[in-house]
Amino acid sequence: VATFEPKGGCESHDGRSPINTSRIFYGIMFDAGSTGSRIHIYKFIQKDPVELPVLDNEIYHAVKPGLSSYKDKPEEGGNTIRQLLKIAKKAIPKEAWSRTPVVLKATAGLRMLPEEKANALLKEVQEVLDDSPFFVREDGVSIMNGANEGVLAWVTVNFLTGHLYSNTKKTVGILDLGGGSTQITFLPKSKTAPETYISSFDLFNHTYQVYTHSYLGNGLYAARLAILGAKDTDDHRVFTSSCLPKKFREDVTIFGTTYKISGYAGYKLCYYEVMKVIKGIVHQPYEVKGNSIFYAFSYYFDRAVETGLIDDRGGVLEVRDFKKRAKEVCNKMTKYRAISPFLCMDMTYITCLLKEGFGFKDSTVLQLAKKVNNVETSWALGATFDYYRNLNIH
């Protein structure tokens, strides 16, 4: 029997609490990202009162655009969350609703908004969750710290690959490329990194000290704006880039703002443009040299699939594979333009981020994965564990 009883401060607005007297319990985690909102509905089974719960399955659904695109229409943003909650009502038995916690954590999209606009969105979402039949804590809606995003994604992937249960110190690193920010997290073999890049936390009766950093403004869509020189501006001039197809001229909307964009193709010129956005900004961790395998997901995975490097089941690549395909995409843009006119820019950015940013070798092995054991590779599962860690498990 698993019973989750909140410690002090865990009461919901209406006094409900996630007390569970059955062997099966659920958790709902919203990932409010810069380019979309995703709901993760987890079903856990407690096989033994003293053992860790087992993740039975996950139901996942996503909608676009992200909450930050509703910065001037918070009610419409709230409605996207309301629609996703309908999926949770269908997935979870009615008798379990009042004891099933629902949490929403926003990431880089809201971190980049002016505070008053971000707060208006959070307030609207809080009201939507409060109106739901699920258990909502007072701190159930928040903007997540970037470092936590990396740490919790690391927890998710290492839990799903079995490394958190093993007695060995062998773990895998993670590379997460979102729309607004990018994260790198791994267990370092030596302690040469600056203190601000090391995070210590306790989980599953172990203390971990990981290297982790989140680069706000270096996610894929934020990088597009920086490469175009359109960052921090709302004017209507035409922004140009050698990372776009020749004679390309279109209005493109990024994070809710529309820009006029034109292009004049070429990989070498594109790489030079991208370098200016990365060089000197991204810290090169010495410890990644010779480190264990890294799992790469989010836009790393999406672009690898779109350019045919892997299929949608994922796969193993080396950094040089991204570089080779980036060159091909940039030099044969007519072939790839139908997929996305930004494909050359995105693939060059990924290549440059891995090589010039993080300092990976061409031969560094990356495991590209959208799911591990049918569960999404994201920080959401790690955040759910972190939520329950603050509750008593009997």
Among 104, 105, 143, 157, which residue's Cα sits nearest to residue 298?
A: 157
DSSP calls for 290-343: T---EEEEEHHHHHHHHTTSSBTTBEEEEHHHHHHHHHHHHHTHHHHTTT-TTH
For residue 162, the one-letter residue type is: G
3-state secondary structure of 8: coil
List beta partners, residue 216: 181
Residue 182 among known ligand-binding residues: yes
C-alpha 272/C-alpha 46 separation (Å) is 54
Among 275, 317, 278, 287, which residue's Cα sits nearest to residue 300?
A: 317
Q: CA of 143: how far to CAs of 83, 115, 277, in Å?
A: 21, 11, 25
Contact 26, 100 (CB under 8 A): yes
Q: What is the CA radius of gyration of the chain?
A: 21
C-alpha 59/C-alpha 11 separation (Å) is 26
CB atoms within 10 A of CB 154: 31
Residue 180 among known ligand-binding residues: yes
Phi and psi torsions of 27, nearest 5°: -150, 140
Residue 179 among known ligand-binding residues: yes
3-state secondary structure of 176: strand
As a residue count, the chain comes to: 394
Residue 142 among known ligand-binding residues: no
Catalytic residue IDs: 149
Residue carrying the six token digits 């490394």: 163
C-alpha 156/C-alpha 367 separation (Å) is 15
Residue 263 among known ligand-binding residues: no
Q: CA of 24: how far to CAs of 19, 51, 81, 236, in Å?
A: 12, 14, 25, 55
Task: Give the H/E segment covering residue 199.
Answer: strand 198-203
**Which residue positions form the known binding site for ATP?**
179-183
**Which residue positions form the known binding site?**
179-183
